[in-house]
Chain A
Amino acid sequence: MKNIIQLRNVSKAYKGKEVIRNVSMDIKEGQIYGFLGPNGAGKTTIMKMILNLVKPDTGSIQVLGEEIETDSYKYLKNIGSIIEYPIFYNHLTAYENLKLHCEYLGYYDYSKIQEMLDLVELQGVEEKSIDKFSLGMKQRLGIARAMLTNPELLVLDEPINGLDPVGIKQMRELLLKLKREYRTTILISSHIITEIEQIADIVGVINDGILINEVELAAIHKEAVQYINIQVDDLKKAMAVLDFEFKGINIKAISDDRIRIYNDEITKDQISRQLILSGVNIYEMAVASDSLEDYFLNIINGGNK
């Protein structure tokens, strides 16, 4: 699969403060890439760089096979986007705004406008001016506009902000449908984890301008979700025993007498047997599961240290 977006060692500073630090990432064709990170982590800045609204200080960016220079603009034809929040000409109606969008893109299939408005369930407000739209409605209209010309790549910055639960669900289904039927590549950002985990193939975690981790969701589900907590009398010994008996095991001391084991192949029985044989007393042992949320919070906090 070819790379639709490729960043190499991209950095950006505003007034001496680095907001993006040496970020490299690849987004492949047909993927939904979830961008996860707290507010102000740099998600929007990276998206703006992909759209050439913001120019990187160093590093290179390729989008749809084209190297982005300061004066590149032709590649934008194949990208639909919402950045930060959807912006429209407030005194124009919804329909006029979308029509204007078509004209700027040199796209003259106006029947598509109504089709998209129906798709995002904005029937009956075509002739309403944007002044009177709620945030949720603007967000829907923004999505309609981004998808209007069937772009190969969608860049959606916090697209579910302001949507109600029904809207969020529709949004999710819509994106999955686009990926399935049109092989649209989607870069979507959010600070809400549960929302990303339901649609993304890959999640990139960003904090403080650093891309901390890129993980395939399938892998996290397997690795992170389950672990075993053990309370023992001799922590050091227990660690040494486990390390010796189960090579390459992922263990972590979480307090003076507690160990956490991330593994779903070794059973509780195997562990307790080994520990007891080595003379380590076990006070407590339980299988627990981390939510994905904890997993990401761990990654983010780890990046802070």
Chain B
Amino acid sequence: MKLIKLELTKDNFMKYIWGAIISTVCAIAVVALIGCIQDEGDTVFTSAYEILEMGDIFIRAIYIVFSGVLIANIIVGEFTNDTIKNLFIYPISRKKIMASKLVLVFMFTFIMYVVSAYVFYLSMAVLNAAAHMVPEAISAGMMIARIPTVLSGGLLTAGISLIALFFGMKKKSISVTIVSSVVIMTILSNSIDGTMSSNLFSVTFISVGLCLLGIAIGVSSFLNINKVDIN
């Protein structure tokens, strides 16, 4: 716990929070704009459910990359700019140091994901009331009903985004980490058959499988850390 606190003092986390706020606002704006398109009276979204679903896709995409940036700076960055040498000569087990970093990335991504999702839902409820993107209102009940979806979405996103760690550590490169997280995001978010809700992420066994893979990568990264030579 104390190690996580020290990690927080090392990097300026406000910049990540600002990044998250800006991208969430962008997601809100884009979805709202799409929602306002009207073609001979037809709107793009046919139900409130679709708007919220669209929001999930955006937020998920944002946080896979967001987490990629965190991994790049907090974990891979320590190796590329050699500060890991400082850390590993402290009387602290390497495993604990790595674990605290992973927990930090995972928790931060998860919490920000959930917060963002609900900020998005609330904004959409307000915007919809004003602009009537869909005939029905986005009610509090709908939002509450989505709690399990959002929580599981957050967990899956935080897990899947750890896959980028594998590529980043392999190449010991910040840009590889971020690029690989963008690639993962693109693959997962693309529509399979042209409808909005059918992307790879929505196939449960793929997302759960990838999440487990991500967590396995995270765990293996600190299981082997004691044997690694730091040059």
Contact = CB atoms under 8 A, between A and B. Distances in A.
Partners in one complex: yes
B226 interface: yes
A92 to B, nearest CB: 7
Contact of B85 (A70, A71, A87, A96): A87
Interface string B189-231: 0000000000000000000000000000000000000110111
Q: Lowest 9 A-B CB distances belong to which pairs?
A: A77-B91, A53-B230, A104-B90, A54-B229, A76-B91, A71-B226, A87-B82, A70-B226, A51-B89
B94 A73 contact: yes
B81 A87 contact: yes
Given A53-B230, A70-B227, A100 B85 contact: no
Contacts of B94: 71, 73
Interface of B: 2, 6, 9-10, 12, 81-83, 85-94, 226-227, 229-231
Interface in A135-174: none
B185 to A, nearest CB: 27
User: Which of B2, B86, B227, B230: most chain A CB closer than 10 A?
Assistant: B86
Contacts of B6: 100, 103-104
A92 B10 contact: yes
A105 interface: yes
A247 B227 CA distance: 54
Contacts of B86: 87-88, 101
Interface in A89-108: 89-92, 96, 100-101, 103-106
A11 interface: no
Contact of B92 (A73, A88, A91): A73
A83 interface: yes
A29 to B, nearest CB: 20
B85 A83 contact: yes
Given A71-B93, A100-B6, A100-B10, A55 B229 contact: yes
Contact of B89 (A74, A79, A100): A79
B9 A100 contact: yes
B10 A104 contact: no
Contacts of A79: 89
A81 interface: yes
Interface residues of A, number: 29
Contacts of B10: 89, 92, 100
B231 A89 contact: no
A75 B89 CA distance: 10
A87 B83 contact: yes
A75 B92 CA distance: 10
A191 interface: no
A144 B19 CA distance: 36
Contact of A75 (B82, B91, B230, B231): B91
B53 to A, nearest CB: 40
B223 to A, nearest CB: 11
Contacts of A55: 227, 229
A105 B90 contact: yes
Contact of A54 (B12, B91, B230): B230
A99 B203 CA distance: 48
Contacts of A83: 85, 89
A87 to B, nearest CB: 5
B92 to A, nearest CB: 6
B91 A53 contact: no
B91 A105 contact: yes
A112 interface: no
A179 interface: no
A88 B54 CA distance: 43
Nearest to B225: A71
Nearest to A101: B86
Contacts of B92: 73, 104
A53 to B, nearest CB: 4
Given A54-B231, A100-B6, 4 more contacts: A53-B229, A77-B91, A100-B9, A101-B86
Nearest to B10: A89
A45 to B, nearest CB: 9
A145 B96 CA distance: 23
